[in-house]
Amino acid sequence: MQYNKVEICGVNTAKLKVLPEKEKVRLLKLVKEGNQSAREQLINGNLRLVLSVIQRFSNRGESLDDLFQVGCIGLIKSIDNFDISQNVRFSTYAVPMIIGEIRRYLRDNNSIRVSRSMRDIAYKAMQTKERMTNENDKDPTIEEIANEMEVSKETVVLALESIVEPVSLYEPVFSDSNDTVYVMDQVGDNNDDKNWLDEIALKQSINNLSDREKKILALRFFKGKTQIEVANEIGISQAQVSRLEKYALDKVKNTK
The pairing of strands 180-182 and 172-175 is antiparallel
Kindly report the CATH number that applies to the domain delimited by 1-109: 1.20.120.1810
Compute the average pLDDT of residues 211-217. 85
How confident is the prediction for the chain on average, in pLDDT? 76
More confident residue, 226 or 162: 226
More confident residue, 163 or 230: 230
Compute the average pLDDT of residues 53-78. 83
Percent of residues, the chain, with pLDDT higher than 70: 70
Provide the 3-class DSSP secondary structure of residue 213: helix
Q: Is 150 exposed, middle or buried (0-12, 13-18, 19+ CB in 10 A)?
A: exposed
* pLDDT at residue 5, as a whole number: 42
One-letter amino acid of 229: E
Domain with CATH 1.10.10.10 in the chain: 193-256
Q: Are 38 and 24 in contact (CB under 8 A)?
A: no
Cα-Cα-Cα-Cα dihedral sign, residues 237, 227, 156, 108: negative
* pLDDT at residue 192, as a whole number: 47
Give strand pairing partners of 2.
5
pLDDT band at 30 (very low <50, low <70, confident <90, very high): very high
- Report the distance separating Cα 50 and Cα 68, nearest Å: 7
More confident residue, 57 or 187: 57
* pLDDT at residue 3, as a whole number: 32
Question: pLDDT tens digits, residue range 69-94?
Answer: 888 999 999 998 888 887 788 888 88
Q: Are 251 and 205 in contact (CB under 8 A)?
A: yes
Question: pLDDT tens digits, residue range 84-135?
Answer: 887 788 888 888 889 888 888 877 765 555 566 777 888 888 888 888 888 8
Q: Are 48 and 16 in contact (CB under 8 A)?
A: yes
Cβ partners under 8 Å of residue 239, min gap 6: none
172 has a pLDDT exceeding 60: no
Domain with CATH 1.20.120.1810 in the chain: 1-109
Most confident of 13-27, 176-190, 204-218, 229-243: 229-243
Give strand pairing partners of 12.
7
Kindly report the CATH number that applies to the domain delimited by 193-256: 1.10.10.10
Give strand pairing partners of 7.
12
